[in-house]
Amino acid sequence: MNRRAIIIGFGLLGLLALALVSAAMLGAERLPIFDLNDQQRSILFDIRLPRILLGACVGASLAVAGAGLQSLLRNPLAEPYLLGVSNGAALGTMLAFVLFESYEFARPVLAFGGAAVATLAVYRMAKSRSGMNVERLVLSGVIVTTFLSSVIVMLTTLLDAAKLRSFTFWLLGDLSQATQNGVYIALGASVIATIILSSQARGLNLMMVGERDAFDFGVEVGRVRMLVFAASSLAVGAAVAASGSVGYVGLIVPHLVRLTVGSDNRLVVPFSAIVGAIFVVFADTIARTAIAPRELPVGAVTALIGAPLFIYLLRKS
């Protein structure tokens, strides 16, 4: 690992700490750093901190899933949404919402299941006798995504008005429902996914050039593919269950990281985790404060920042 990468890594960690602290202080009620009174303590520890930490975990999860899937599919534009992973997770969460509303753990479990089923469906559809072809995979992802979208829309007709509003807000990307357990689940998923993807980073570096290449140079291509799919499903499932569809994070963050440190996945994966966390914490702070005391869905903010930034990056590279 070169010195520049180490400096950037520590710099990013510092930036993340700064983002977390400033997000904790900013909001409808501005908090001081020291000497909080009881009410301020309660706002910080019961409401704001779970939400900020959840945002950081969601950002990290979506960004590492994007980085992994992009390298696997040899396409810098691939991301969880394109492959139907997010919509699978959204459908799973929705089923949990409709069928098992009182069980908090049902949401992430069904979301992970939905993400995994969607990924496997896409994988099966894309795999032909002559092997895996990237164009076919992306096309299958688009088909699965649109199919799942229509199922989700049909299911919303079953919801009553209050649930529908809450669900719609969640679908647009919403961190306001953060709970302590939700944070633990999202933290666990993001850490596990980052470790799995980092452990496969060297293999992914070869697969980025071509599956045949990777195979020739000793990568167990099938195993890496399954591990990346599983880790991305886990990350996206946990993120979507907690916060709905927070778009553009999986696309823009790895792109930004690659522009700074190059394409080596041993750096891209962990750095994407940190930058993804910073990005979502930053976007959520805007969502909480821009029109306070009312709130914007964080997904709308990430898309508002992400879309123009992505066009700029695309033109620049």
Chain residues binding another protein by CB under 8 A are 1, 71, 74-76, 129, 198-203, 205-206, 208-210, 212-213, 215-220, 258, 262-264, 266, 317
Q: Which is nearer to another protein, 117 or 267 (CB)?
A: 267
Our CB check for another protein shows the closer of 25 and 134 to be 134
Which residue matches tokens 């992505």? 310
Nearest to 96 by CA among 112, 86, 111: 111
Give me the least distance between CB of 202 and another protein, in Å please: 6
Smallest separation (angstroms) from another protein to the CB of 310: 16
CB 94 within 8 A of CB 241: no
- The CB-of-303 to another protein minimum distance in angstroms stands at 24
Among 84, 131, 91, 127, smallest CA distance to 111 is for 91
Closest distance of CB 198 from another protein, Å: 6
Report the residue number, 219 or 273, with the smaller CB distance to another protein. 219
**Closest separation in Å from C-beta 214 to another protein:** 8
Q: Toward another protein, which CB reaches closer, 145 or 200?
A: 200
What's 174's DSSP letter? -
Choice between 136 and 266, CB closer to another protein: 266
Q: In three state form, how does the secondary structure of 182-235 look?
A: HHHHHHHHHHHHHHHHHHCHHHHHHHCCCHHHHHHCCCCHHHHHHHHHHHHHHH
Q: How far apart are CA 289 and CA 286, in angstroms?
A: 5
Contacts of 270 (CB under 8 A, 6+ apart): 9, 194, 198
Nearer to another protein, 46 or 216 (CB): 216
Q: What's the 3-state SS for 101-114?
A: CCCCCHHHHHHHHH
